[in-house]
Structure 1
Amino acid sequence: MSLTPPTPVFAPTPDPLTPDRDITHAHFRAGDTVVVLKGVAGGELWGDAMRVITPSWHTPTDENGWRLRDATGGAQSYITAHPRYLVHLSRRCPDCLIHLRAMEDRLLPKHTGDNTLIDCGWYTTTALNQLVHIADVRGGR
């Protein structure tokens, strides 16, 4: 038995919902556990679970962001992300549940049939360890 997660299959899939999501910086608080949705696996959405640490300026969007910590570590244990990329795991808030359900309705029918880990290709990490949605990338950053 291997504890290493499978390498995701890259399958670019449009994400028209996250870039237009109207979520403010105040929606999240330090200590919240969140997920950054990245794709589909086994008929469910999957992503990276993180802990919200502290406010941080999100340079790629020129807006308030959050510094996040990946509890599992790795090459990039800390990143900065815009609030619209995040969905609560630590509490069931209506805004996050509505966004999660809309993402499920849009994505799950497109990726059915097997248990392959699908990375929909929405995010990249900049040299400054800032998570950026492809809709937010400016000037090649």
Structure 2
Amino acid sequence: MLPPSWTPPSTPAFAPTPDPLTPARDITHEHFHAGDQIVVLKGVAGSELWGDAMRVVAPSWHTPTDEDGWRLRNADGGAQTYITAHPRYLVHLSGNCPDCLIYLRAMADHLLPKFTGHDDAVIDCGWYTTTALGQLVHIADARGGR
């Protein structure tokens, strides 16, 4: 369902698409464990959801949300091999997690109809930024000036 982790070389210019699901997602720190393979959904590639695949490494405080987070490692490297993220941003890559499957389905139902007709496009919906501290922050969690 999800393409491999990669950053598209040229993402078409689309306005950020609202994400009403992730900010309200009720997933605790205990839902994930060191070693889990996860994905952070970022948009749509063709007719499927797209995101960055990573591995959960260790517990870490997520300063932007003042909550327990996870240190993640991107095996593909990139500008930052390690980042810290809040658990509600993460989705298990294995297909045997009911909570994550429900979230994936809801995200697909929400996003895919918005991008019909863009079958060959890779669309980053603009939900995330990485802070100077290497912490992934959803736009709904961003604090002004911090």
Map of 2:36 onto structure 1 = 32
Among the aligned pairs, what percent are the same residue?
Answer: 79
One-letter code of the match for 1:55?
A: P
Map of 2:10 onto structure 1 = 7
* Counterparts of 1:101 and 1:73, CA distance in 2: 28
Q: List structure 1 segments (4+ residues) > 6 angstroms apart after TM superposition.
A: none
* Counterparts of 2:73 and 2:103, CA distance in 1: 22
**Matched position secondary structure for 2:23:** helix
* Counterparts of 2:110 and 2:7, CA distance in 1: 29
Matched, 1:109 2:113: yes
**Matched position secondary structure for 2:110:** helix
Using the TM superposition, name which of 91-100 and 29-38 deviates more: 91-100
* Superposition deviation, residue 7 in structure 1: 2.4
* Superposition deviation, residue 4 in structure 1: 8.3
* Counterparts of 1:101 and 1:61, CA distance in 2: 25
Matched, 1:134 2:139: yes
* Counterparts of 2:25 and 2:37, CA distance in 1: 19
Contact 2:8 2:122 (C-alpha < 8 Å) held by counterparts:
no
* Counterparts of 1:140 and 1:119, CA distance in 2: 24
* Superposition deviation, residue 86 in structure 1: 0.2
One-letter code of the match for 2:115?
A: H
Q: Which runs of 5+ in 1 are unaligned?
A: none
* Superposition deviation, residue 10 in structure 1: 4.1
Contact 1:10 1:121 (C-alpha < 8 Å) held by counterparts:
no
* Counterparts of 1:35 and 1:84, CA distance in 2: 11
- Specify which of 124, 128, 143 is matched with residue 123 of structure 1: 128
Q: How many aligned residue pairs are there?
A: 139
Contact 2:54 2:73 (C-alpha < 8 Å) held by counterparts:
yes
* Counterparts of 1:108 and 1:58, CA distance in 2: 30
Q: Which runs of 5+ in 2 are unaligned?
A: 1-5
- TM score, norm. by length of structure 1: 0.94
**Matched position secondary structure for 1:20:** coil
* Superposition deviation, residue 90 in structure 1: 3.2
Matched, 1:57 2:61: yes
